[in-house]
Amino acid sequence: MTSRVVVTGLGALTPIGKTVQESWTNLLRGKSGIRPVSELPGFKEYESPCPASVGVANVSDFNASDYGTLFTSQDLRRMSTFTQFAIVAAQEALIDAGLLNNLKDLNAERFGCVIGSGTASIQDMYDSILAFDRGKRLSPTFVPKILANMACGNISIKYQLKGVSHCASTACATGNNAIGDAYNFIRLGYNDLCLAGASEACVHPLALSGFLRAKSITADGVSRPFDARRSGFVLGEGAGLLVLESLEHAQKRGARIYAEVEGYGLTSDAYHITSPSENGDGARRAMKMALNRLDPKEVDYVNAHATSTILGDRAEMQAMNQVFAEHPRDKLLKVSSNKGSMGHLLGAAGAVESIFTIKSLQDGVVPHTLNLETAGGAAGDDPKAWQLLDLVQGKPVALEMRYALTNSFGFGGINSSLLFRKWED
């Protein structure tokens, strides 16, 4: 017998807010967290490979020492920024779930930690390579700092979570995969609770230069998901963590429940390292897997991956048209992307967007896609495909919802989808 899995806590640190509520409020207000790359410290040194027209969405003014006793001086020496981001989000999620002051009352061996990162610490890798090349001694913390599982490891130690310890690192699908894996660990009885999500601290000239060479990043500094003028994503960073819990355990301790995780889909395109399958086949299969036996017409909203690339947005649109083709014409499926506001958080994107999807269900509102003015219309787009879904633009839309889906796709051809149901007592 498998357990039902619910969400009881949320924590986030994003380019548009230092908490879940601040991020959510700013998303609905249409605030942009994107700023010129020229505002990054030390940018002048890298101006040639990173032209000033490029935009970034970093967690501005982040300083771990501002969080009081959350970090010791030793923590600040041995923890990379992505781990610090994750700890800030974990603390908020545990407080939100009503667990932080009661951890000793729980069975630590039944509390897991599933936290991933797509790039771990580019900054520490870069600094250490420069030091090594100049003949300087490396720090003994070098290797631990650059390992993708260090956010998970440090959080497990800090909060004494002795259950499953697992790190997903699947490029831009990482956040969704971490949540989906935690969902399955609880369903199968491995744990009663899990902290799950991802963290990314990737805004660095080296990452920007690499993505620019790969022609993934837009040169004009504007993220335009689904828009005719979309030309690539804006690099962002942040962290999102959820407390997942078996329904039985949550009800036994009287927890407030946000939503239920209803399904998880994970597929491979088996097509290309960086480009999606042209017809969106892998994305389609991931969504169908997440829906399982649910009638697609029951889904009210899709929080799309939609990074603002020409091929990626087109493939996802084709996939959604195939999955949700039978939605009635007077009730088209609502679709939006958060990346117009906060850029693409790479591995952390799915975790933060899962939080926003849950907030949409809870508050009955669909955020609009910032910078979406003309849906479709890029060279190669099929005009008909962009008329079968309701792409929310201009302002948020009030909508009573029961089911919402969120997508994340990554390099290597990985596709992931999560289905959430609004909690109803």
Determine the residue type at 160: Q
Exposure letters 227-237 (e unless 16+ CB within 10 A, then b)? bbebbbbbbbb
194: CB partners within 8 A, 6+ apart: 111, 112, 113, 114, 163, 164, 182, 185, 186, 243, 244, 245
Selecting among 152, 172, 194, 202, the annotated active-site residue is: 172
Q: Angle formed by the axes of helices 349-363 and 20-28, to 10°? A: 70
Is 172 part of the annotated catalytic residue set?
yes
Instruction: Please report, for residues 26, 272, 317, 381, the alpha-carbon distance to residue 278 in angstroms, rounded to integers and kept in the order given.
Output: 34, 10, 11, 11
Q: Is-contact 175 352, C-beta < 8 A?
A: yes
Residues in the chain: 425
Q: What is the rounded CA–CA span in Å between residue 312 and residue 277?
A: 9
Beta partners for 193? 111, 245
Which amino acids are annotated catalytic?
172
